[in-house]
């Protein structure tokens, strides 16, 4: 079966712009989580969605937001981009206690 799909794979944006990243979970998985990975901070939890509801949120500013649709696909949005938002954004879908990660979206803010 298909894995977790994240689009786009690479993105270059300018400071002050906004960006939307997409994550399609494995079929049948209703839980989707987002992580930010940077060389300095490692992997940091952003938020988790289950059945269209945000269940948990990490310690990130309000510029970071997300949502989940009825088909379990999820999007995350970052507004007013800053240079420090440059990172690999990973999405994971889970079921039965095991998480499967996508390849990530590499965001570069210039």
Partner 1 sequence: AQSVTQLDSHVSVSEGTPVLLRCNYSSSYSPSLFWYVQHPNKGLQLLLKYTSAATLVKGINGFEAEFKKSETSFHLTKPSAHMSDAAEYFCVVSEGWKTSYDKVIFGPGTSLSVIP
- For the segment 62-101, give every residue that binds partner 1 (CB under 8 A): 90, 92, 94, 96-101
- Binding residue for partner 1 (CB under 8 A) from 11, 45, 75, 86? 45
Q: Does 4 bind partner 1 (CB under 8 A)?
A: yes
- Give the pairing type, strands 53-57 and 64-68: unpaired
Residue 2, SS3? Answer: coil
Q: Where do the H-state alpha helices sit in 1-110? A: none
Return residues touching partner 1 (CB under 8 A): 4, 6, 31, 33, 35, 42-43, 45, 48, 55-58, 90, 92, 94, 96-104
């Amino acid at each position: 079966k298909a894995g977790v799909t994240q689009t786009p794979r690479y993105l270059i944006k300018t400071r002050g712009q906004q960006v939307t990243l997409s994550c399609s979970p494995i079929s049948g998985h209703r839980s989707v989580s987002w992580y930010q990975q940077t060389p300095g901070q490692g992997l940091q939890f952003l938020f988790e969605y289950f059945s269209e509801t945000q269940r948990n949120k990490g310690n990130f500013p309000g510029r970071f937001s997300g949502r989940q649709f009825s088909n379990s696909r999820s999007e995350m949005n970052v507004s007013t981009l800053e240079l420090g938002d440059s990172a690999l954004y990973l999405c994971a879908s889970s079921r039965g206690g095991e998480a499967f990660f996508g390849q990530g979206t590499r965001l570069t803010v210039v």
